Structure 1
Amino acid sequence: MLDAMPDAVLFSDKAGIITRTNAAVDKLFGYDSAELIGSSVNMLMPQALSSRHDRFIENYLKTGSGRIIGRGRAVEGVRRNGDAFPLHVSLGHITHDGEDHFVAIMHDFSARVAAEAALSRTARLDAIGQMTAGIGHNFNNILTVVIGNLELLEAQLSNPAQHAMLADAREAATIGMDLTAGLGAFGRKSNARCDVIDINAACSAALELIKHTFDPQYVILMELTDNLPAALADSTHLQSALINIALNARDAMPDGGTLITRSEVVTVDDHYIAQELDIEEGTYVRISVTDTGCGMGPDTQQHVFEPFFTTKPVGQGTGLGLATVYGFVRQCGGHVTIYSEIGHGTTVALYFPAIDEIPTEKPLHNKRESREAAGQRTILIVEDNPRVRSVTSDRLRDLGYDVRVAGQGDHAARMLRENADVHAVFTDLVMPGELDGLALARLIEATYPHIRILLTSGYAEDILSREIDDIPHQILRKPYRQSELAEALLELFDLPGSAQGVTSQVKE
């Protein structure tokens, strides 16, 4: 009968030693009954509760008063693997042959607690939704007054410069109205309005607002590719995202710096890059925002898109900015990546699915031509990220090159001192150790002039070009396609099929 009961039933003596259990106890806690019989019941409780339990039983046996005997209460149990879980216990006391015995009837409260937590979250989100909808309504009323007065003021101004400033203010207020409408949408649990938009137009509108917000110590550059295909995005959210990213960049450049916004078409038709970006293959419009700020380390990059994560002092950041950027881009079927190096700056890239069909570029090479061109050439890969190092090795071997690898510039320098019989060094620019990629490239240029140099980085290549203009170089920007890697190597060795006479080139 005990084993037929769905609830766990356990007997113990007055010392808390388990004397009998049913099958449900074994299932609930993960023990075999043989392991439990003769052991202390405290093994099924967290340590803090077990000490209280002993005092409670001792007091009950002395005084006859207890708060749990004959009734139930919610406590915490501990399974055999150490996991704690919510548990409901009803405890009874019996005396048999002059001995005190206790019986506990227990059942797992995990499902109930999870359901209550879900209901609590739903109620809290509903309350937040109602609150934000109300806030949005009130702000829309205020912004309506602002926009109305700006329009009235516009008719009274004759100075073109004043008209331009007024137009910026009106545009910002309109974006504010759309964003507060988004607060109401949050209350109704609706998604971003992803439509077919002109990415360059949205970028230009955002950049105009950014230019008037930044001090003269900041250089704002915009490099937009002409004739971009239309993309699936939300224009208001995109402008807000770019402004948000730009303001974060400004905080990372307290003494001034450069901010570059670039738009371009990216075709993800290579399984390597698809894995790196965590997106489906296809054609995307990519918007990259690069700053020359302090940068961030790998640990920060792992958490930067999490809600409420911020590195700013208390009161200066909510941690919601990049989280909302990530959320809306993903809603539109895109993806967000971040590349940053401490001391060199940060690049945030937004990928939006392209809608218009665009002509597919003719392949720069085919695999047979690449393998024939590779010949018996050996390339030394210098990359501190083990995953990138492994993928790059596979790529180069697939193209027919012999490969050597080094995890840091210092290691690569030692390898070259021992054996400089390599034809090229393919190195990341920013790495730990005494020799980063730039220092390694200068060492190779001075000591091993026969070795060609191919550089790679996820950082803005136009800024990098100014740092390395004293050495012959090519830069392959991360992430890159297999065809781009192959073409860069063909050009590096001036092999057939490459662009001849190129001594310094940036590969997009």
Structure 2
Amino acid sequence: MTSQLEWSAHRMPQRFLNYERQKVTFWLAIVVLVAAIAFSVLNYFERQAILDSIETKQSILIQAQDARNSLRMAEAGARGFAISESPKDHARFQSGIATFTETFARLKKSSRDNPELISRLANLERLAEREIAISEKLAARDRPDQGSQLVAVSSQTMELFNRGIDDFLILARSIRQNQFDDLRNQRLVSGIALVLGALLSLGLISWLFMLREREFTRRRAVEDELRALNTGLEASVRERTLELERSRDLLDTIIESIPDPIYLKNADDEYRYVFVNEAAEQLFGLPREQAMGRIDHELFPREQANLCRREDRQIHNSGEIGFSPAREMITQQGPRDVESRKIPFQSADGQTLILGVLRDVTDHRRMERQLREMQRMDSLGRLTGGIAHDFNNLLAIIMGNLDLVREELDTSTETALMIDEALGATVRGAELVRRLLAFARKQHLEPVAVDLNEHIPEVLPLLERTLGENVTVQFKDGADLWLALIDPGQVDDALVNLAINARDSMLEGGLLTIETANANLDEDYAAQHVEVDPGEYVALMVSDTGSGMSSTTISRAFEPFFTTKEEGKGTGLGLSQVYGWVKQSGGHIKIYSELGHGTTIKLYLPRSGEKTAVTHELPDATRTSAKGEERVLVVEDNLNVRRTVVRQLHDLGYSTIEADDGQSALEMIRNGVSFDLLFTDIVMPGGMSGYELAEVATGLRPGLRVLLTSGYTELGQKAANPACWPLISKPYRKSELAIMIRTILDAPPRDRNA
């Protein structure tokens, strides 16, 4: 193959010379032919110009005759009117003057390109003006005694005008005859040039065909030689083509698989889209066939399209890579937050293209906002929980001592009334702290399997009394409802809080609807709400027909102490308490509202794995004065709280021993100190919590009774089965403590693992 290529290279200069010779011959023939044709065309235009001039001269001859005749008619009319005073003669005079004026003007216009004719016409015009002036005097009859004299002058003037017209006509005919002679000469020259050009062109073309015939013979031999080369080249091209196709397919697969939208714009054609990948199709909401070939103004709103166009021009002019931080882009799918990176480059054919890579960060930014909101709420909850814990210790001291003092006083005394008011304020403060703990997710919960369809109807009478007659309450129970794993007492509080908020938004009354349903929150929903775990939930929905909420109000609705009510009409803790309870229960809460169209709050409560609901039993409230003689080990790190508890227990008849932390209490137990009940705080310093103390103590003394207390609890993190031990939350009344201790001591001992 190499030798064939070398031979072809050797023959190439000769073939190149032959080709150049043929090319020169061909173009020479074309030039000759074109020159002949061009000469003929120019000659044609010249003849046409001569013909136009001949026609003009012919019209000049006619107009000159018309001018003479019209002037004669004016003269005859003037004479006749001077003799007979006939209106008809006067009309002939006027008509002749008008016709002459118009005809002579056309004659001057037609003769303007010939100076000699114009000169003759100037003399004729003076004679005509003189004749017209004489005729007007005759027609006016101002001087009848001079009529004969005027007629003689008019005849003389008219004679001069006729001679001038005759001279003018002779000159015009002479010019026309010369032009006729030029026209015949032009036709002869044009014919000769065209024939000579055609003959020369035919000769050259014939010679060219002869050369082409020789070249054809040589070319057939060369084609046979090249055919063998083509066979090898085709195989090589096929291999390279397949390789390029494989590379292109791989590149297409990679580009289409990239989750980020990618596009190409032609900067030289109004920045039209020439390529979009599948991700860009989804973002634009258009098939690529519809997107490609369009400009931004055909896909996006004007303001957004103008911004894209400015960026493209800046990148095009600078030639530098451009990056735009996340901003809102209006697409066929709605507003999206998009980052963009644009890279200008030159294509193989010299066009300037802009490669754009977009990143849809809408979901990412929404998740960031949700995460920040979760962190903010969590931080607020931690702060609230810590404050509430300290307040509960303070309230426990105040409430316990007020209870002790109150029992020593006569009911009718002024001091007793003051103590009752202080106790009432302390109870209200305890309720406020309880709500704060609910928001902080640190309240004591006892979740059990609850059938909401059976439980909610028991609460409806309370809601109806609370809401009043202006609000209608209806309950829609969902079919085949699953059991919810929740604290039933908290459900009642949540319904009351939601119902009161609904009532306050329906100033003129309305409808409150409570619904239950099974709900399955899938992966897509969980991806849009970072705090949600996908799975099965029991949905509890409370809807009203009130004024609704704005988006700003919704974003802050769960914050403690946030309220849109007038001062003194709400604490702003209702929704925050519900929020904290739902979150602590492992559920999810969502507000759907629109101004003027009401609000729906959906509570997604965790589904219970139990098959039957658990009946919730309350302690016997008749044992308010229960006392005892047993011995209680009180473990409390706060000295004032411990003193108050010891006073209450002594007043109830119990004896006590005290410890200020878990380690001290554990040392007493190991030393064999006798006692009947372990009453311990949960959160204590020293590295051992109340849960851990109870765990070790019951291990050392099986059957030991345990009662836990705390300002807040974190049950799920502190013990495997914290509900095994009863708990009384601070602050508590002396009567509540008496019932709880007596209930525990009177119950039969049980294995904590039972």
After TM superposition, the score normalised by the length of structure 2 is 0.29
Structure with greater helix percent: 2
Structure with greater strand percent: 1
